[in-house]
Structure 1
Amino acid sequence: MAWPRRRRVARPPRRTDFWPFGGMILMAAAFFLYAVSGLVAPWWAVVLLLVLWLVVFVACCRWFTTHPRRITVAAVSLVAVWFVVLVAGARWWGWSA
């Protein structure tokens, strides 16, 4: 007598979440902002900004599947940090074109 085969229960396909993809798109936009900062900021400030971006990018790559909404928050935070650093640099340290 043969054992009856177990049937696999068909699971509905998982819905793809937009949060990690939208966050990575914002990370790419933030990279371009950070890279073009050399037009206004000194080279050492641009290097520090790019190092900060790289650290956050590595964290976002690790969060892609586990914490997808953190990527978007991190990318928006990076844009805010970029804005604050460039405005503060122009106001207090005389960075300008």
Structure 2
Amino acid sequence: MSNRVRVALGWLGLVGLVPLLFLYVVSGLAVPWWAVVGFGLVWCLLLLAAVRSRRRRPLLTLAMPLLGLALWFAVLWLGDVFLHWTA
């Protein structure tokens, strides 16, 4: 993989975290406040991991938004099924 492609993939992964933050914050309409705080902490950890892996492993950086999205779906589904969260 060329250096330009690696750099572009790394930045694309970081940019992909921005709409994920918006999704996490807006989910406060359906989840309790403590879950939104947890989402914020998870987003910070994802951002830290993405920044650290941007140069060496750009595909891992690209996977961070997808991992965060899968986690968001899982938490909302589990909260709906087991904790009866409703909007």
Interval containing the TM-score (normalised by the shorter chain) = 0.7 to 0.9
Q: Give 1:1-97 correspondences, 5 Å limit.
A: 15-17=3-5, 18-97=8-87
Q: Which has the larger radius of gyration?
A: 1
* Unpaired segments ≥5 residues, structure 1: 1-13
| Percentage of pairs with the same residue | 31
* Unpaired segments ≥5 residues, structure 2: none
Q: How far did 1:40 drift?
A: 0.4
Moved beyond 2 Å, runs of 4+: none
Task: Tell me the TM-score normalized by structure 1.
Answer: 0.79
Q: Distance in 1 between matches of 2:54 and 2:62?
A: 10
* 3-state SS of 1:94 partner: coil
Aligned length: 84
* 3-state SS of 2:84 partner: coil
Give me the CA root mean square deviation. 1.4
Q: How far did 1:28 drift?
A: 1.0
* 3-state SS of 2:18 partner: helix
